[in-house]
């Protein structure tokens, strides 16, 4: 497909690269929007195909639509492979694998027959939507979110770990208390599943305690869950507030010792004592 015809072709490759991989040009943006629509429509097709009333009546339409979108994505995948500088690093990257998984199931269904399970893989196409985050200023906003989450990652891990320990201990207790009477608490893993359903306040009710002692324990677990939901919220919020209040610290550099982090109203460098603001600002 690709002919190494020197200058002419390499300029074409660059243009395709700019359109497909970048979003700065008009054509690049248009391509992103087109791809986004195609992805969403193809996922909608997969979703509707899983509804029995639709797939029984109009099975053929779904097959046509599926091949239509697969064709689009195959062309796109080929162009990506063609235009990218380092092919293997793209093909093995997160999005490279997702891109391949988006088209593979349809081709495999030719060989293996229409296996149900392949349909599910096709939903992974949706992950490609994350490319949209490249679009303009959405990046800034999501970066703030991601940074706040990353900053509180450790605290949240410890918190989740403590919550899981709690569910294990309570799960074993509930299995002991309810196990004999209530057939729903028939094993410790199921008890732990119930504990997680309870402490996160989801509360399906498919499993629920029936003995007075079990209900008392459940009540304690709920109130605990209710009180500790405050903890992750507090972690993330204080991290975000910290970011907001830090904005009062200037990025000014001391001309003498070159250190940063001075308050907005500082007159002298707090590290070396030399004047940083000539005029009393």
- Restricting to residues 118-177, name those near a second copy by CB under 8 A: 120, 123-124, 126-127, 129-130, 138, 141-142, 144-145, 148-149, 154-156, 158-160, 163-165, 168-169, 171-173, 175-176
Under rule CB under 8 A, residue 59 binds a second copy: no
Question: Measured from the CB of residue 256, what is the shortest distance to a second copy in angstroms?
Answer: 9
Under rule CB under 8 A, residue 196 binds a second copy: yes
Give the residue, chosen from 51, 110, 111, 113, that forms a contact with a second copy under the rule CB under 8 A.
51
Q: Give the relative orientation of helices 230-246 and 212-228 as an angle to the nearest 10 degrees.
A: 0
Exposure b/e, 122-161, CB count within 10 A at least 16 = b = beebbbbeebeeeeeeeeeeeeeeeebeebbeebbeebee
- Do 235 and 229 meet the contact criterion of CB atoms below 8 Å apart? no
Under rule CB under 8 A, residue 201 binds a second copy: yes
Return the range that interacts with a second copy (CB under 8 A); candidates 20-28, 29-37, 58-66, 181-189. Answer: 181-189
Unique residue bearing structure tokens 């689009």? 72
Question: Measured from the CB of residue 59, what is the shortest distance to a second copy in angstroms?
Answer: 15
Return the range that interacts with a second copy (CB under 8 A); candidates 4-12, 93-101, 102-110, 229-237. Answer: 229-237
Give the residue, chosen from 27, 36, 38, 47, that forms a contact with a second copy under the rule CB under 8 A.
47
Of 45, 40, 23, which is closest to residue 32 (Cα–Cα)?
Answer: 23
């Amino acid at each position: 497909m690709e002919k190494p015809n020197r200058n002419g072709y390499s300029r074409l490759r660059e243009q395709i690269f700019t359109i497909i991989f970048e979003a700065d040009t008009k054509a690049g943006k248009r391509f992103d929007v087109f791809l986004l629509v195609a992805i969403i429509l193809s996922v909608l097709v997969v979703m509707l195909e899983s509804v029995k009333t639709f797939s029984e009546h109009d099975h053929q339409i779904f097959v046509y639509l599926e091949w239509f979108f697969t064709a689009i994505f195959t062309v796109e995948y080929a162009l990506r492979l063609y235009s990218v500088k380092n092919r293997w690093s793209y093909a093995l990257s997160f999005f490279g694998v997702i891109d391949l998984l988006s088209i593979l199931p349809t081709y495999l269904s030719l060989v293996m027959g229409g296996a149900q399970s392949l349909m599910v893989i096709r939903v992974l196409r949706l992950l490609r939507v994350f490319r949209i985050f490249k679009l303009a200023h959405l990046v800034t906003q999501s970066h703030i979110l991601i940074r706040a989450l990353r900053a509180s990652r450790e605290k949240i891990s410890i918190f989740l770990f403590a919550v899981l320990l709690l569910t294990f201990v309570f799960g074993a207790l509930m299995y002991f208390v309810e196990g004999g009477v209530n057939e729903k608490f028939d094993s410790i893993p199921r008890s732990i599943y119930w504990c997680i359903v309870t402490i996160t306040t989801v509360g399906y009710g498919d499993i629920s305690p029936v003995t007075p002692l079990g209900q008392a324990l459940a009540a304690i677990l709920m109130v605990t869950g209710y009180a500790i939901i405050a903890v992750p919220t507090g972690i993330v919020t204080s991290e975000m507030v910290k970011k907001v209040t830090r904005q009062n610290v200037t990025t000014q550099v001391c001309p003498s010792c070159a250190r940063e982090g001075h308050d907005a109203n500082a007159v002298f460098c707090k590290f070396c004592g030399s004047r940083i603001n000539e005029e009393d600002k």
